[in-house]
Structure 1
Amino acid sequence: MENYFAKKKPTVDDLIRMIADMGGRAPAIKRLPPRQAAFGDFGALDHRIVNALKKRGVEALYSHQSEAVACALAGKDCVVATPTASGKTFCYNLPVLHAALQDANARALYLFPTKALAQDQLVEFAELAALSGGDVRGFVYDGDTDPVKRRLARSEGHIVITNPDMLNSGILPHHTKWSDYFKNLTFVVVDELHTYRGVFGSHLANLFARLARICEFYGARPTFICCSATIANPEEHARALIGREVTLITESGAPASEKEVIIYNPPVVDWNTGVRRSSLFETAKIAAAALAGGISTIVFTRSRLNVELLLKSIRERLEKAGADPSMIMGYRGGYLPKERRKIERDLRSGELRGVVSTNALELGIDVGSLGLAVLHGYPGSIASAWQQIGRAGRRGAVSAAVMVASADPLDQFLAQRPEWFFKAATERARIDPYNPYIQVSHVKCSAFELPFRGGEKFGGREVDEILDYLTDYEVLHRVDEAGERRYYWQADSYPAADLSLRSATGENYTITDVTVESRPVVIGTMDRRSAPTLIFPDAIYMHGGKSYIVQSLDTEKMQCFIKEMAADYYTDGDAALRINITDDFETQGNYGWGEVVVTLTPTIFKKIKLATHENAGFGQIKLPEEQMHTTACWITMPEERQEDAGLKLAMEGLEHLIRNTAPLFLMCDRADILVTSRLKDPQLRRAALYIIDNIPGGIGLAEGAFEIKNELVKTAVGVMDSCGCKNGCPGCVGAPAGNFEIKKAVRELAGEIMAGR
C-alpha cells in the first residue's frame, strides 16, 4: 500500500492525489467554503448562565441559538432545523438551565433516539450547570441506570435524559411514581427530530399522545423544544409528531470550516457490460490508506452485511501495510449495547482511529475529531448524506468527505450529474400516526396508564372505535359512570413491555451464538421483516468481522441459533411475492394506490464469494410464508402495450430503476419499500408495477409515491440516461438484454405512462 500520507500533517490534496491514482473518476471535487458566524444576544437568560458562558469563551450566542432561547423562554413550542455541528445543544440547554435556576421545582425531559446521545448530553449539561453555580441536577434514565440513580432521577432530577424506548416502557406506565416530576414538567426537548420518521416516528407521535394525557392529568403543559438536521418539512414534521403548532427556526448563525466533498466513481473493468470495480473494495482501499497514514476515519455503509465485509477488508489491508488492524471497529444495529458504548468511548479517547458504521453514527454522538468521512454509496437520502459528510471536521479543522459511487443506478446518476446532488433540496420526513397496528398498541398502553373517557381524543382523533374493539376482546372493561362511558384496563399483561418502537408489530428474532454449546451467548437481534432472507438454516450471518452459519431457526419462539464458521462466502436470500388489492383509494391515469395484502414466501439463496463476488452455489429456503397488510402504489402499463413482446424486459428495467430511485424522494431506507412487476396482474387485468410500503399497515410511503408519480418515473429515466452504457447494464436497468434495445424501450414506456395512455 503506497503511503500518500507520509507527511506529519497530511492534507486534503494528498487524499485527492491518491483517489486520482486509483484509476476511477472524481467528477466532482466540491469545496465548501468557510462560513462566517452571525450572532444574537443573550436575551432574558439568567445572569449566572451568561457569566458561565463567558467563562467558556462564549461572548455571544449564534443568531439561531438566540432566537430559540427567546422562543422557549416565552413558552412557545419551536423546532430548530440547522446543519450538523451548528450548536443546537445550546438551543435547549440554556432555557432549561434558566428555568431550573429561577425555580428549583422546574423539571425537563430530554428525549434522544439513542442511549449514546443521552450520555453525551448529561456531560455537556453538567459542565454548564456547574459553571453557573446553581444546584441543578441531571440524570440519564435508561435500561443501564442502576436502581439508586433511578430513584434520585424521579425525586431530584431537574432534567431527566432518556430515549423513546425507556419513556414507553419505564416512565409513562409508572407515572404515579413520577407525580411530582410530571406536575412540574416545564420543557420537553426532542433532539434529532429528523430520525423520527417511518415506523419509529409513527410510534413517537403516539408516545407523545400518551405523554400529553399524563401531563394533562397532573395539570402541566410543557413547552417543546425540537431540533433537527435539515429536512424539507421540519415544521410540518414537528407538528405531526407533537400534535402542536410550532415556530420554525432555520437560519443558522454558526460558522463552518472549509471542507472538500469528493464524489468518486470506480473505474469500469468491462466496457461491454459496464461493470465497475467493486465500490466496497475501493471504499476499503481509501479508508485503509487514510488510517495507515494517521487520518482518523469514519466509513458509512448502507447495510449490516456491508459493515462486516468492509471491516474485514480494511483490517486485511492494514495488516498487509504493517499497521494495527484493531485500530478500526464495526458499529451497527444488532451489536449489544455495552459493545457499542465501548466503541464510542474508544473513538472519543483516540484509542480507536476508525469505525465502519451503518447510519447509526449519523447522529450527533461525540466520537471525537475525525478527519475523513467515506460514504460507501449514496446513503439513500440527501439529508442522510449531509449528516454523514458532517461527521468529519466537527471540531473546526479542514476536513474531507468522499462518496464512493456503487453500481446502483442512483449512485451512477449522482456520479454522472454531481451538480444534482449539490443543488438538490432535502427530502420530506413521513410518518403515519394513525397506522392501525401502531395506534392500537399505544391506545392499549395509554389505557393501562389512565382510563379513557368516551369521546376523548388521542393524538387529535377520537378513538372510541379502537376502545370498543379492545373491550370486545376483553382487554378493556367499559362502564357507564354518571352517564359517561369509561374504559378501564383489565388484561393481565403489561402492554408497553411487548411494544417495539422500531417495528409496527414488535417482533424480533434473538440471535444466539452456540459455538460453545455449554455457553450460549446472545450476540444480536433482527426484526421479523428482515429475517426471512437474511437468517435461515445454512445462511451466513456476519458479526464483528466473523462469519457464522445459521444452524436452526425457531419461528414460533423467534430464536436463531448460529455457530462460528470460517466461510469465504456470504449468502443472499430471495422470496416470491403475491399481492392482493383489498381497497382502491384513488386512481389517476395509469397510477393508483390503496390497501393490499402481501404474501412473502422465501424461495432460494445464493452463495457469493467474498473475494470476487462470484456466484458459488445456491440452496433452498424452507420457511413458512409471511403475510402483511399494508398499502401500495401501482402503475399500470398502457393498454396497447399488453401484447408487446418486449414489455416484460422494459418493465423489469423500469422496476430496477424505481427500486433504486424511490428512496431519493421518500426519505426511507431501501428495505422500507418493495418494488415488483407483474406481466399480467390478476386483479388489475393488465401488466402492472407495484411500489409497496414494506411496513405492516403502511406509514405513508405508498401515498408519497402516488403524490410524486410522474416525477418518480421521470427521474428513473434520467438515472438510466446518465449511464454511459449503450444498451443497458447492471448499473442502470439491471441485467443487459442482449440485442434488445432496452433503454429505448424503457424510455418509450415511461413516456406513455406519464402521458396517461
Structure 2
Amino acid sequence: MASFWQQAGRSGRRAKQSIAVYVAFEGALDQYFMRSPHKLFGKPIEHCQVDSHNHKVLEQHLACAASEHPLRLEHDESYFGSSMNSAVMTLKEKGCLMNNPSGGDSGVWKYIGPDKKPSHNESIRAIEHDKYKVIEENLADHLKNGGSWPDRASSQRSEKCSTRKSNRVLEEIEESKAFFQVYDGAIYMHQGVRYLVDKIDLSSRIAYCKVFDLNYYTKVQDYTEISIIGGDVDEHPASQCKPDIRRTTAQASACKVTTKWAGFDRILKSNNQIRDSVSIDHLPPYSFETQAVWVQIPQSVRATVKQRESQLLDGVHAASLALLSIVPLHMMCSCSDLGTQCAEPEEQSETHDRILLYDRHPGGIGLASQAKLLFGELLVASLELVSTCSCTNFDGCPSCIQSFACSEYNKNLDKEAAILILKCVIQYEKLYFEAKDGSHRS
C-alpha cells in the first residue's frame, strides 16, 4: 500500500491535477483490489516492522557503529537492545571488537576489524554475508578447457557464442537463494540474457556459466521442511495500539528451515511442457533458523473436511498460499519475504494440522510476531480472496490460490477445501474466545 501511494504520488507534484492509472495483473492481490476497490482506497498504510534483535543484523550495525565511535554497553544498550551484549561477544570472537585496547575504561569496545570502513561491505538489501558469484565464462575458453556444446537441437551455436571478456562477474546471490537459481545445467537469466550454468564450485562459491540461446528454461525441484524449535518470539508493540484487533489462537516461535534439492525440470519455451527431468545429487541441503507463525487446525475441522470428501492437505496448501498472497495488504513486506510449507502428502503428515508462514530471512526480521497479532484478520481476508474469485477450477487460478511463490509450482491444490478450512478455522476461533469469555464471567 505504501509503495502504491508513493508511486501514484509521483505525478502532480507541482500542485496540478494528475491521474494515476492502476493496471492490474492476474496475481491474487491485484485481483483482490479489482473486486474490492474500496479496500484499496479506504485502507490505511500497512504496518512496518523492524526487529532490532536479529543477531545477524545487530552484529553488522554494531561493527559499523564501533568503527565510528567506541561502544559502551551501559549506555548503548538502550539503543541496540538487550541482545547487544551477546552480539558484542560474537564480534569479539570474530576479531572485530576489542575490549579496553588502550588500557582505559573496561566498558569501552573499539573496532579492530579488517575493514577500514565496515559500512562499505554491508548490504542494505540483504542480511547474509555468504554469497555465490555468478561468472560468465567465455565460450571459447569453455570449449578449450574440455567443455561441451549442449545438444544441437536446443542451441544455436555460432550465432550465440559469447565473445565477451572471460570471468566477468554477473551477479552475487545470497546463499539462501543461490541453489534456486544456479546449479549444474540451470538456465540463468541476467538482464534479459540466457546463460547455461556449466558448473558450480561449492568450495569457492562460484557458478560458471556461458551465453546460450536454448529452447527451454529450467525449474528446480526442491522440498522445504519447517521444524518448530520452540520459545515465543517477542510481540510487536502494535498489540498495545489496536485493542479491537481480532483475537486469534495463532502461535509464533523460532523454527529451523531446511531446503533440499532433488533435481530440475527442463521446460520448453514454446508450450511450457516439461521436456525432461534431471536429478541433482551434488547440492547440499541449506538450513537456517528463523521464525514461524501458525494456527493449529482443530481435529473437528479436519473431520469436517474429510466428511465432505475433500483433500485435507491440498486444502491446507491452498489456504496457506492464499494467506501468503494477502499478507502484503496488512504488513509492509512482499510475498518473497515469507514462505509457507508446500509438502507432498507422503512427505510430512503434520502439515495437515496447521496453516503456517515462516520468515525467509535468517534469524527473522519480526514478520512472524507481527503476523501473529494480525492472523485473525489475515484468515478473514484470505477467505474473502478465495471465495469471491469467480474461477471454477478445482485447483483455483492465479487470482485466488495459485502463487508464483509456491515451491511445488501450484500442484496439489483444492480451492473448495481451502474455503471450507478457512471458514471452519475462523468459526472455531470465534467460538473458542466466546467460550473463554463466558467462563471468565461465570
Bin for the TM-score computed over the shorter chain: 0.7 to 0.9
Equivalence for 2:397:
730
1:715 matched to 2:381? The reply is yes
Q: What percent identity do the matched residue pairs reach? A: 22
- For 1:595 and 1:482, locate their aligned partners in 2 and report how far apart those are by CA, in whole Å: 40
Equivalence for 2:326:
661
Equivalence for 2:150:
none
Report if aligned partners of 2:295, 2:355 keep a CA contact under 8 Å in 1: yes
Q: How does 1:610-621 map to 2 (within 5 A)?
A: 610-621=269-280
Match among 432, 438, 441 for residue 51 of structure 2: 432
1:750 matched to 2:397? The reply is no
- For 1:738 and 1:530, locate their aligned partners in 2 and report how far apart those are by CA, in whole Å: 25
Shift of 1:403: 1.3
Shift of 1:443: 1.5
Equivalence for 1:413:
32
Counterpart residue type for residue 421 of structure 1: L
Shift of 1:719: 0.3
Report if aligned partners of 1:409, 1:733 keep a CA contact under 8 Å in 2: yes
- For 2:86 and 2:430, locate their aligned partners in 1 and report how far apart those are by CA, in whole Å: 42
Equivalence for 2:110:
488
Match among 598, 602, 620 for residue 261 of structure 2: 602
Report if aligned partners of 1:512, 1:524 keep a CA contact under 8 Å in 2: yes
Higher relative contact order (CA 8 A, sep 6+): 2
- For 1:455 and 1:526, locate their aligned partners in 2 and report how far apart those are by CA, in whole Å: 38
- For 2:431 and 2:93, locate their aligned partners in 1 and report how far apart those are by CA, in whole Å: 47
Equivalence for 1:500:
123
Shift of 1:540: 1.4
Report if aligned partners of 1:454, 1:484 keep a CA contact under 8 Å in 2: no
Equivalence for 2:251:
592
Equivalence for 1:64:
none
CA 1:397–1:596: 2 relative to 1, 3 Å: same
1:162-212 residue CA offsets vs partner (Å, 9 max, x unmatched): xxxxxxxxxxxxxxxxxxxxxxxxxxxxxxxxxxxxxxxxxxxxxxxxxxx
Shift of 1:594: 1.3
Counterpart residue type for residue 719 of structure 1: L
Larger Rg: 1
Counterpart residue type for residue 359 of structure 2: D
- For 1:736 and 1:726, locate their aligned partners in 2 and report how far apart those are by CA, in whole Å: 16
Equivalence for 1:583:
230
Counterpart residue type for residue 701 of structure 1: L
Shift of 1:636: 0.9
Report if aligned partners of 1:551, 1:563 keep a CA contact under 8 Å in 2: yes
Equivalence for 2:317:
652
- For 2:76 and 2:413, locate their aligned partners in 1 and report how far apart those are by CA, in whole Å: 60
Q: How does 1:177-576 map to 2 (within 5 A)?
A: 382-390=1-9, 401-406=21-26, 408-457=27-76, 459-461=79-81, 463-472=84-93, 474-479=95-100, 484-492=106-114, 494=116, 495-517=118-140, 519-520=165-166, 521-576=168-223
What SS does the corresponding residue of 1:529 show, helix, strand or coil?
Answer: helix
Report if aligned partners of 2:257, 2:289 keep a CA contact under 8 Å in 1: yes
Equivalence for 1:672:
337
- For 1:603 and 1:756, locate their aligned partners in 2 and report how far apart those are by CA, in whole Å: 43
- For 2:98 and 2:419, locate their aligned partners in 1 and report how far apart those are by CA, in whole Å: 63
- For 2:105 and 2:38, locate their aligned partners in 1 and report how far apart those are by CA, in whole Å: 65
- For 1:736 and 1:516, locate their aligned partners in 2 and report how far apart those are by CA, in whole Å: 37
What SS does the corresponding residue of 2:196 show, helix, strand or coil?
Answer: strand
When structure 1 is superposed on structure 2, of 500-509 and 580-589 the one drifting more is 580-589
RMSD: 3.4
- For 1:433 and 1:702, locate their aligned partners in 2 and report how far apart those are by CA, in whole Å: 14
- For 2:341 and 2:189, locate their aligned partners in 1 and report how far apart those are by CA, in whole Å: 28
What SS does the corresponding residue of 1:438 show, helix, strand or coil?
Answer: helix
1:52-81 residue CA offsets vs partner (Å, 9 max, x unmatched): xxxxxxxxxxxxxxxxxxxxxxxxxxxxxx
- For 1:696 and 1:572, locate their aligned partners in 2 and report how far apart those are by CA, in whole Å: 24
Shift of 1:639: 2.5
- For 1:611 and 1:667, locate their aligned partners in 2 and report how far apart those are by CA, in whole Å: 37
Report if aligned partners of 1:717, 1:746 keep a CA contact under 8 Å in 2: no
- For 2:176 and 2:206, locate their aligned partners in 1 and report how far apart those are by CA, in whole Å: 14
Unaligned runs of 5+ in 1: 1-381
1:492-531 residue CA offsets vs partner (Å, 9 max, x unmatched): 4554454322211223332222134553222333232322
Report if aligned partners of 1:591, 1:635 keep a CA contact under 8 Å in 2: yes
Equivalence for 1:253:
none
Report if aligned partners of 2:264, 2:279 keep a CA contact under 8 Å in 1: yes
How does the TM-score come out when normalised to structure 1? Answer: 0.45
Match among 258, 278, 297 for residue 637 of structure 1: 297
CA 1:618–1:668: 2 relative to 1, 3 Å: farther
Shift of 1:421: 1.9
How does the TM-score come out when normalised to structure 2? Answer: 0.73
Report if aligned partners of 2:386, 2:419 keep a CA contact under 8 Å in 1: no
Unaligned runs of 5+ in 2: 142-164, 236-246, 403-409, 433-442
Report if aligned partners of 2:316, 2:418 keep a CA contact under 8 Å in 1: no
